[in-house]
Amino acid sequence: MITIKEAQTKAEIREFITFPFSLYKKNPYWVPPLIIEEEMSFDKTQNPVFEHAEAYFYIAYRDGKAVGRVAAIINWTEVRDMGKKNVRFGWFDVIDDIEVTKTLLAKVTELGKKHNLENIEGPMGFSNMDKTGALTMGYDQMSTMITWYNDPYYIDHFKALGMKQEKEWVESRFLFPTEEQVAPYLKGEALIKKRYNLKVYNPKTIKEVLPFVDRMFDLFNESYTKLTSFVPISDRQKQFFKDKYIDMVNPEFLKFIEDENGKLIAFSICMPSLTKAIKDSDGKLFPFGWLRLWWAKKHTDEVLFYLIGADPEWQNRGLTAIIMAEYFRSFRDNGIKWCVRTPELEENHAIHNLWKFFNSPVQKRRATFIKPL
């Protein structure tokens, strides 16, 4: 018999977070989350997303043993302001038993029906800044610190329960481009800067990054608003994500472009890959996890392209040339050998075009699945 319990206490939330640690402990491609980071994200007194979202964390048991988990989520900005009447499910992990999946998703469905919503969709986080999508291709490749991993049977369960694929994302990992590959960008960089009298900022310290952060999030909201899955982030969320990620970034991997009037028109964030350090630390900062993360931040040979945004009015004026030329120099000077394209919506052709001169074939796909309530 399968029973469901809502995780509410700190101990129960910790059990919810750590369930996949046992499920995937022998899987070489699964990368754990940072436990302390997950706890902060689930804390309704700390994460400002709960000002306009609600979430319930459920654990499934059989014979007293945890066999699955799911978060049932309603993002009220999405429902009320954008008219997308969906209940989300996220942080979904389960043993290979479709009855467990069915029972867990029934709890999510129950929440959706309670509020007269129309669809159940997932896996999705609270907002666009959270992990999203179930892996549908690339099970034999290492996950990253900003994506979920799952076995193929998750997809079999979703389809057997009548769910249809909704949104799709693509990812890849490729060798640091050669000067020959970057040549078109290097050639166009000076011309674009001069034509539009643009200013490029390559910060060297966190202190130099901070003045750009709020403007960057405003531009993020503006540049991604046309994508079907986008939900704007609030001012308090901006501060939350600033606090969450600021210690993980290498300032030299952040690029900002202003127009001649000092308006921010483009930004790009690459993060040093901390994947191996997090896996080696089993998601824990203590006693030595923090040291592994610090070392990886300084010495990694791999970077993740995390976010790239441009003012819609500037998206076809060659800013890509500047960004890629700047990264070529930064990566070369920092000994970067590998680059990772983190999940990009299949429909986001402007982002895909960034890689047209590189050997960057799609190696992973992930998707959300949807079903009417």
* Residue 235's CATH number: 3.40.630.30
Of 121, 151, 169, which one is at a domain's C-terminal end? 169
**Which residue in 154, 165, 168 sits closest to 102, CA to CA?**
154
Find the mean pLDDT for residues 171-192: 90
- The pTM of the full predicted model, rounded to 2 decimals, is 0.92
What would the pLDDT profile of 126-167 be if each residue is shown by its tens digit?
A: 987 899 999 999 999 999 989 999 999 999 999 999 999 999
Residue 370 included in any domain: no
Of 119, 137, 169, which one is at a domain's C-terminal end? 169
The helix/strand/coil state of 311 is coil
Same domain, 159 and 185: no
Which region among 10-24, 177-191, 246-260, 345-359 has the lowest average model confidence (pLDDT)? 345-359
Same domain, 342 and 267: yes
Residue 71 included in any domain: yes
Same domain, 179 and 135: no
What would the pLDDT profile of 206-251 be if each residue is shown by its tens digit?
A: 889 888 888 988 888 887 766 655 677 777 887 787 777 777 788 8
What would the pLDDT profile of 287-316 be if each residue is shown by its tens digit?
A: 888 889 889 888 899 999 988 888 888 888
The helix/strand/coil state of 314 is helix
Same domain, 116 and 154: yes
Residue 156 included in any domain: yes
pLDDT (0 to 100) of residue 233: 74
Of 114, 139, 169, which one is at a domain's C-terminal end? 169
CA distances from 24 to 132, 176, 342 (A): 18, 30, 22
What is the Cα Rg of the chain in Å? 21
Same domain, 336 and 191: yes
CB 368 within 8 A of CB 167: yes
Same domain, 162 and 190: no
- Domain range for residue 155? 2-169
Q: How many domains does the chain have?
A: 2
CB 17 within 8 A of CB 35: yes
Distance separating alpha carbons of residues 287 and 59, to the nearest angstrom: 28
pLDDT (0 to 100) of residue 159: 98
